Copies of this chain bind each other. A is one copy, B any other.
Amino acid sequence: MDQFIPPVKDMIFALREVVGKGDLNSNSGFEDFDRDFLETVYESASEITSEIIAPTNKDGDRLGVSIDDGKVTVPNGYAEAYDAYVDGGWSTLSCNPEYGGQGMPASISMPVNEMVMGANFSWAHLVLLTNSAIRAVDAHANDELKDLYLEKLISGKFSGTMNLTEPQAGSDLSVMNTVAEPNGDSYKITGQKIFITWGEHDLSENIIHLVLARLPDAPEGVKGISLFLVPKIRLNADGALAERNTLKAVSVEHKLGIHGCATCVMSFEEAEGFLIGEPNQGLACMFTMMNDARIGVACESVAIAERAYQQAVNYAKDRIQGRTQTSDSRVSIINHPDVRRMLLSMKSLIEVMRVLVYENTFECDLAESKPEHTKRADLLTPITKAWCSELCQDITSIALQVHGGMGYVEETGAAQHFRDARITTIYEGTTGIQANDLIGRKFISDNGSAVNDLLDQIETEVEDSDIESKIKAEVSQAIEQARNVSKFILENIQNDPNLAGSSSYSFLMMMGYLVGGWIAVRNITAAKNSLKETDDKEFYNAKIISSNFYIEQFMPLVRSFGSSAMQGSKSMMSMPDDQF
């Protein structure tokens, strides 16, 4: 029952036929990636993830990680999975070719990331956070640091971490205390960081910590934060491993989920570190990693949702219980309409979420050569992160529900996905932080123009599409609602300083479901086009059914979230604190 088979056909459909509109190759940077190439890469990735990584998932959760005197013990099978991943070159896909990477656009490698996360979510954090660290070093470090570290990070010899959070500084990094003292060419880093994912382990030869810290006399707040590269083991000038740096993991967290992931409290005591980028520009440098990591969390959300869904489908096909209106003999529960509702809810949401993740990544890829795509990429990022992670909660919960009482028993496995998923709306910026980013920086500061462009595009595409008029009407109503909400917020924001904060969540969720509706329409269009030239009718017909289902069942939520977003801040702000 506990198998995981990456849905390669769905991934290619989402990336090529929906996001690339059937012709991914016509975009600059994508010339080398035709369908045959993608199929070869993804099938090969699917093999290693389902056969080598996925089987480590359940034991990883059950056994978890432990720490003894700074040394972290990882679950069985993790080392073999890491070696197979690294030896297969999977860590290098979207990295800089100058340092051994394969230079693929991120959107081409995203399906591989999705597979790895679905296979073992805890384990995957190691290789995917290393990828984010690579991006930050590649974008901001000087050549000396790059020459010394980048190739080894890309090859997987070294792994990487992000060190932001401190006990008093979570969403608000302005109050962090870790300090960096100049010491010749390097710095002495001192402080304590918490929630450091894979902060310590022995799967790679070395661990490269990217650490936010304050220089002496740095300005207060976020304008006084710098980024440092702090290796677990120091390197000689020739790159050989030298002595151990003065940093260590002092504990690992006991968490609700991702038990197989070492979430460390890290202590730095005058550890040797090297400045990345300009002094006091650390947060900007870190944002290179953060935006990347935010879309990464959305991709994780798709991945866990997909795994939970697969498990629920298998259970629903196997479990015999009850009879239906139309059958006298006992049936497997997939025949019960309410169970089908649950399965189809999961399927239709996942299909839309997957396209959104790929689309957002594709816009980021395009923005590298065509800056006009930056605005769209930036607008989508908080929606993609928050909406997909929120839906991931619903989907893993539905998957558990399909199992009935067995879902509540840990051995079944559904509970693990539910527990693992719960982190996704929290880390890399909570849903509240994303909603704030969307309504503040991406909507109000921009006077609504990026949102308006998106709504215009959705309106035109839906209008021009060859879909049922009932569906067109549903989406059109949703667009109208979104326009009303946008207008309401922009008109009232001056008079109500708390309006943005109090309507941000509903605004984000409204935009999420609306963008989902747009994607559902595009899924239908793409499926219809593909139906003309394929024998695989069932696959594409199923896409049409599930996309219709999305619009029937989830588009009405655009109106309800929109309605909630237009209530103002009065009720929220007038409640006295002591009455909570």
> What residues make up the interface of A, taking CB atoms closer than 8 Å to B?
165, 168, 170-172, 175, 194-195, 253-257, 313, 316-317, 320-326, 330, 334, 336-344, 347, 393, 397, 400-401, 404-405, 407-411, 415, 418-419, 422-423, 425-427, 430-432, 435-436, 497-498, 500-502, 504-506, 538-539, 541-542, 545-546, 548-549, 552-553, 556-557, 559-561, 563-564, 567, 569, 571-580
Contact = CB atoms under 8 A, between A and B. Distances in A.
19 contacts: A168-B320, A170-B321, A170-B405, A175-B330, A256-B408, A341-B502, A343-B580, A347-B575, A393-B397, A397-B422, A400-B422, A408-B422, A408-B423, A506-B553, A545-B575, A546-B571, A548-B571, A553-B567, A556-B564
Contacts of A432: 336, 338-339, 342, 401
A336 B430 CA distance: 13
B411 A426 contact: no
A409 B254 contact: yes
B336 A401 contact: no
Contact of A336 (B431, B501, B552): B501
Contacts of A347: 575, 580
Contacts of A506: 553
Contact of A579 (B342, B408, B538, B548): B538
A99 to B, nearest CB: 33
A347 B578 CA distance: 13
Nearest to A400: B422
A126 B323 CA distance: 33
A564 B553 CA distance: 5
B195 A253 contact: no
A580 B270 CA distance: 55
A330 B168 CA distance: 11
Contact of A576 (B165, B194, B542, B561): B542
Contact of A255 (B316, B409, B573, B579): B409
Given A171-B321, A418-B256, A571-B344, A165 B405 contact: yes
Contacts of A322: 171-172
Given A576-B538, A579-B542, A401 B431 contact: yes
Contacts of A579: 538-539, 541-542, 545
B567 A497 contact: no
A397 B426 CA distance: 11
Nearest to A165: B405
Contact of A497 (B326, B502, B546): B326
Number of copies of this kind of chain in the complex:
2
Contacts of A411: 254
Contacts of A255: 408-410, 415
A318 B260 CA distance: 31
Contacts of A419: 256, 419
Nearest to A542: B579
Contact of A338 (B324, B505, B574): B505
Given A321-B170, A422-B400, A431-B401, A549 B564 contact: no
A411 B371 CA distance: 46
Contacts of A548: 571
A547 B571 CA distance: 9
A404 B428 CA distance: 11
Nearest to A347: B580
A171 B321 CA distance: 7
Contacts of A498: 325-326, 337
Nearest to A256: B415
A102 to B, nearest CB: 34
Contacts of A560: 556-557, 559-560
Given A175-B330, A322-B171, A579-B542, A257 B405 contact: no
A575 B256 contact: no
Contacts of A175: 330
Given A426-B401, A571-B552, A580-B313, A337 B165 contact: no
Contact of A572 (B256, B393, B549): B549
Contacts of A257: 408
A567 B542 contact: no
Contacts of A336: 432, 501
Given A409-B254, A427-B405, A501 B338 contact: yes
B256 A410 contact: yes
State the 9 A-B residue pairs at the shortest beta-carbon distance, nearest first: A337-B501, A556-B560, A542-B579, A256-B415, A556-B563, A337-B502, A549-B571, A552-B567, A172-B322
Contacts of A171: 321-322, 404
